[in-house]
Structure 1
């Protein structure tokens, strides 16, 4: 189930002088956009609009695009008019088997997957057939909004390009739309047991630290890429091998390329991660990543360790000593200039859109753009439909109603 704290996201709003204020909100559970409109007093900022929408969202009909609320947050009116639909159209890249590496698996389409759980924003747990009589649980990552399409494409291409590695969660399947052969996202195998962020009870093994530094070294020095999101939430323990596996390459980039962010340094990320796993203290990374200072952790005389450490390897003293020596060696190597990766990964960028002209929705409330001709570019779903483009629909019932149906079926 999606954490209620991250169920809603509001990337923008229309705030008119003197009101009304309108906030456009994505509900990651139902995968739908709803606009909340009201006075500046009722909706001074997006968290206020999200709080009000959260009270009503599961009772709204699926075709409602906009609600207008009173200063107390009660619904005054609703609209199901297409002109109030604010979802952005996503131009998914067309699939061509000649353009992708041979992963050994044929693509899936959405109807071939059964939803098992909703994990987070554009991340679901699914089940699909992986051969005759063989059921596979997988994590399905997809781009529901165009802002995230490039990241999903980047992660998918990196995972397909990476050779199989015992410390990296392997690639699963490309997922296609069932109407047009367009790439919506991909799957990776589901590994039970929870991430280190979720499972905070298992004793920590010194070998896991060695494995984490080893896989980071391989990514940097062998494959020439920076992960840029090393964290406990992106690490699991394989129940078969009892070794860690790293996943989530959404922010990864070629070392030396334009996508590398010096504030997301993987060396620092390893230190932060081990500290957070052992102490359950995440406050050093609760601030923007460009303000985080790993030296505050490295200079601490003692770590307040809350998780048991497996006996026989020197405990926290050995862990900190190993970490310090590894980090010093890697930082020293970096000062000597870039290293030529012997197996440098390469992958194609997101293909450009084929320009499709469209007309701004002729019944739009926005007088500035009503009926305006555009030769191409980003557009709302309503404009894409008017232009004759196929729109992938993501809407689904709320988790609350699905749980109720399951209870009724079992009773």
Structure 2
């Protein structure tokens, strides 16, 4: 998948070439090597036993390429119409044609500016796969249910495209400072940890919503207010009933432990270790040396106190009490609209002619 140009690429070749001891698949190696030389309309390529091109097959131009300035619909996706999303009808809207890409932040997330006001920037989150559609739907409703909150970046507006006003994504405030994922020099303040714990408590215990994908990349710092912002709610889930098997926030507690371990230590391997867990991590006597001035010891102590408190609440209350508070979200957070089926035209059966 070429996330930058929003297209699938298929690499074919002899089986002997693709058998490799390298951690990175050979198909990705080919793609990485020839990325800058490939035309934007290439969809398939065939290589020989040495990884050299044999054939390159372009894909026919899509009919909407003339109509949409930013080709966000290169993959076949059923975008819901605004009129079918009654639960989102109260949100402000902006047309896709009114936005202009400034920078690509990551897969399906861009910095854009408004064409009528170049000084006004926003983050544009979008999707172009069916899986992304469900995640976008959940993120929109999670943010609606949790806002306003001082540590959650709210929705600025739904982004609509086409005459049928189909929802292709949403905009939110642009935070230029970026996340904690790629900033090796930024120290993590204890106040930010407290803000994170309060935000997760509010989401998990009061609203019955789990973030589901907490990592250093999910945390932003707003320079103007010096506040921590919890972002990226695409994996958010809600509990429907006291008997549901949905995550009740324990997954967020687990993820918070790994996240606040990774930020000061820069050790990202523990989360990928299948044998690792937040409990085992907290029992580890010594964590790797942290960046000077990070107050890693105080941060760990604060984290351990919060985890113990959450564990105590879970044992005392159980899932039912929190789930009953979350049942009110069912009407405000319906399931995503089903994919619209285009009725097939009935073909007239041709009568056989006998000679």
Q: How does 1:158-169 map to 2 (within 5 A)?
A: 158-169=142-153
Q: 8 Å contact 2:146–2:203 — kept in the other structure?
A: no
Q: 8 Å contact 2:187–2:264 — kept in the other structure?
A: no
1:74 to 29, 52, 55: 52
Q: 1:70 to 1:317 in 2, by over 3 A?
A: closer
Structure 1 residue 36 corresponds to structure 2 residue 22: no
Deviation at 1:64, TM superposition (A): 2.9
Higher-helix-fraction structure: 2
Give the CA RMSD over aligned residues: 2.8
- TM-score after normalising by structure 1: 0.71
Deviation at 1:175, TM superposition (A): 1.1
- TM-score after normalising by structure 2: 0.81
Name the SS of the counterpart of 2:162 in structure 1: coil
Partner of 2:264: 278
Partner of 1:202: 186
Q: How does 1:381-396 map to 2 (within 5 A)?
A: none
Output the CA distance in 2 between the equivalents of 1:261 and 1:139.
28
Q: Report the count of equivalent residues.
A: 322
Output the CA distance in 1 between the equivalents of 2:218 and 2:245.
20
Q: How does 1:226-265 map to 2 (within 5 A)?
A: 226-255=210-239, 260-261=246-247, 265=251
Q: 8 Å contact 1:204–1:308 — kept in the other structure?
A: no
Name the SS of the counterpart of 2:18 in structure 1: coil
Q: 8 Å contact 1:175–1:186 — kept in the other structure?
A: yes
The structure, 1 or 2, with the larger RCO (C-alpha pairs under 8 Å, 6+ apart) is: 1
Partner of 2:119: 135
Structure 2 stretches lacking a partner, 5+ long:
62-73, 348-355
Structure 1 stretches lacking a partner, 5+ long:
1-25, 360-372, 374-411
Q: 1:166 to 1:309 in 2, by over 3 A?
A: farther
Output the CA distance in 2 between the equivalents of 1:316 and 1:30.
40
Instruction: Give runs of ≥4 in structure 1 deviating > 4 Å.
Output: 256-259, 261-264, 341-344
Name the SS of the counterpart of 1:265 in structure 2: helix
Partner of 1:333: 313
Deviation at 1:194, TM superposition (A): 2.0
CA distances 1:215-272 after superposition (whole Å, capped 9, x unpaired)? 1111112211111222211001111111101011111111466683589711122221
Output the CA distance in 2 between the equivalents of 1:39 and 1:101.
52
